[in-house]
Amino acid sequence: MKSVEIKPDIHWIGAIDWAIRDFHGYVTPDGTTYNNYLIMDEQITLVDTVKDDFAWITIDNIKHLTDPSKIANIVINHIEPDHASGLDKVMSLMPDVNIYISEKGKKGLERVFDTSKWKFNVVKTGDILNTGKYNLLFLETPMLHWPDSMMTYVKEAKLLISQDAFGQHLATASRFDDEFMECSSMAKLDDAVVDYYANILMPFGNLIEKKIADVQALGLEIDMIAPDHGVIWRKGAGEILQRYLDLAGGKADLSVSIIYDTMWHSTERMTLPIMEGIKDEGVGCNVIKLRATPMNVAIKEFWKSRGCLIGSPTLNNMLYPSVAEFLYHLRGLRPKNRIAGAFGSYGWGGGAVRAAYEELNKMKLKTYEPGVQVIYKPSKEDELSCYEFGKEFARKVKDYHKNFK
Ligand code: FEO
């Protein structure tokens, strides 16, 4: 692997993880990258490190540019292990290096490593490190998405090193957005952006809007955004900022995601007339069976659509386990600006549809109740009820969607 100069004397020196398919529980069919950067200024400065298994790659990349012992500073924007578990291996080559980090980051590292000999410099928003021709401005971004998180803005390069924000889980030979789109597509890149946002940043929409407003208030000129995962936004820095504002502000497709599971195909049979009803109202529809779909993909599809219908059979008077797991996970992500409903089937006592609404109401989502349910297998009359339910839900979705234009 070789480094890539992204701005004059600023080099990407990260690692590509082609093989990872389980990123702390998320399915990552396209792998990921661990990006970090070396600023070859009068004071050579490393920004971020990488996951432990890949430390040898970033060390190798550093050695192609300089003797690691000549590095004066390390900026640590985030201490999650995919970025900081390789830190001690890198640090062993530069024992006198100055570390620039947030207060919470320092405290976190002290729990993980023997830091007794490390030279910490705790920084806050607005602090500047001058490395020679470059000035590095630190921006704390607590809870985006860990308490320690911060970003580093390289003023003279108009470069924002944004840590996890604006990232994507994509292992690719392309280092830049425009390169990626030449050999793939904007749709694939945007899908990766939404997947990342929905699964990691969904709870923090308000914070994202505020932080972007803070950056704009500071008058920072940004013509490149370099996240710590995926491609660097060289052509589309403005567009990805706007995309994040849209995602944080509740922008969604005029569509419904039907997210369901089934035991003996009764709930599954309900999805078809419901989908027909939605479609006949001119609203898009996507149908996702939970046992056939990784959790993070179901979450992404939920987030793309303005409306969501949860389908579940009743098992022991409760939700089917995969549906319960999905709703439990979704509640933790604190979804907003979506309308939801539920449907399902049962054999005798019922309970799943009621339980689904209980979960949706805990999330404080707007709901359309009471949903529709059938006993055993849907009859022709039941199918008509499902169709009408789909149509009525789609009308509610269209009404609600008007609030977001
Ligand atoms: Fe990519 Fe929060 O770590």
pLDDT tens, residue by residue, 223-258:
999 999 999 999 999 999 999 999 999 899 999 999
Does residue 24 carry a catalytic annotation?
A: yes
Query: Nearest-CA neighbor of 134 among 108, 100, 159?
Result: 159
Q: Is the Cβ atom of 78 under 6 angstroms away from ligand 1?
A: yes
Does residue 196 carry a catalytic annotation?
A: yes
C-alpha span between 53 and 82 (Å, rounded): 9
Indicate whether this model's pTM tops 0.75: yes
Residues forming a β-bridge with 22: 27
Model pLDDT, residue 132: 98
Residue 124 tokens read as 């806050």
Beta strands in 245-293 (DSSP E): 253-260, 284-289
Q: pLDDT by residue (tens digit) across 283-327?
A: 999 999 999 999 999 999 999 999 999 999 999 999 999 999 999
C-alpha span between 140 and 125 (Å, rounded): 5
Say which residue the tokens 């602090």 belong to.
127
Q: Is the Cβ atom of 164 under 6 angstroms away from ligand 1?
A: yes
Q: Is the Cβ atom of 80 under 6 angstroms away from ligand 1?
A: yes
Q: Is the Cβ atom of 17 under 6 angstroms away from ligand 1?
A: no
CA torsion sign for 241, 246, 250, 251 is negative
Model pLDDT, residue 61: 97
Residues forming a β-bridge with 257: 286, 308
Q: pLDDT by residue (tens digit) across 164-190?
A: 999 999 999 999 999 999 999 999 999
Domains in the chain with CATH codes: 4-248 (3.60.15.10), 256-404 (3.40.50.360)
C-alpha span between 353 and 250 (Å, rounded): 26
**Span 347-356, average pLDDT:** 96
320 CA to middle of ligand 1, Å?
32
97 CA to middle of ligand 1, Å?
23
Model pLDDT, residue 1: 67
Q: Is the Cβ atom of 147 under 6 angstroms away from ligand 1?
A: no
Does residue 78 carry a catalytic annotation?
A: yes
Does residue 229 carry a catalytic annotation?
A: yes
Does residue 329 carry a catalytic annotation?
A: no
278 CA to middle of ligand 1, Å?
38
Q: Is the Cβ atom of 82 under 6 angstroms away from ligand 1?
A: yes
Model pLDDT, residue 95: 84
Annotated catalytic residue within 9, 52, 60, 80: 80
3-state helix, strand, coil in the chain (%, to 5): 40, 25, 35
Residue 116: which residues within 8 A CB-CB, separation 6 or more? none
Amino acid (1-letter code) at residue 180: F
Query: Nearest-CA neighbor of 307 among 329, 269, 281, 332?
Result: 281
CA torsion sign for 55, 61, 62, 67 is positive
Does residue 5 carry a catalytic annotation?
A: no
Report DSSP state, residue 47.
Answer: E
178 CA to middle of ligand 1, Å?
24
C-alpha span between 308 and 310 (Å, rounded): 6
C-alpha span between 8 and 10 (Å, rounded): 6
pLDDT at 405 over 80: no
Q: pLDDT by residue (tens digit) across 84-127?
A: 999 999 999 998 999 999 999 999 999 999 999 999 999 999 99
Q: pLDDT by residue (tens digit) across 20-78?
A: 999 999 999 999 999 999 999 999 999 999 999 999 999 999 999 999 999 999 999 99
Q: pLDDT by residue (tens digit) across 194-220?
A: 999 999 999 999 999 999 998 888 899
172 CA to middle of ligand 1, Å?
18
Percent of the chain, pLDDT > 90?
Answer: 96
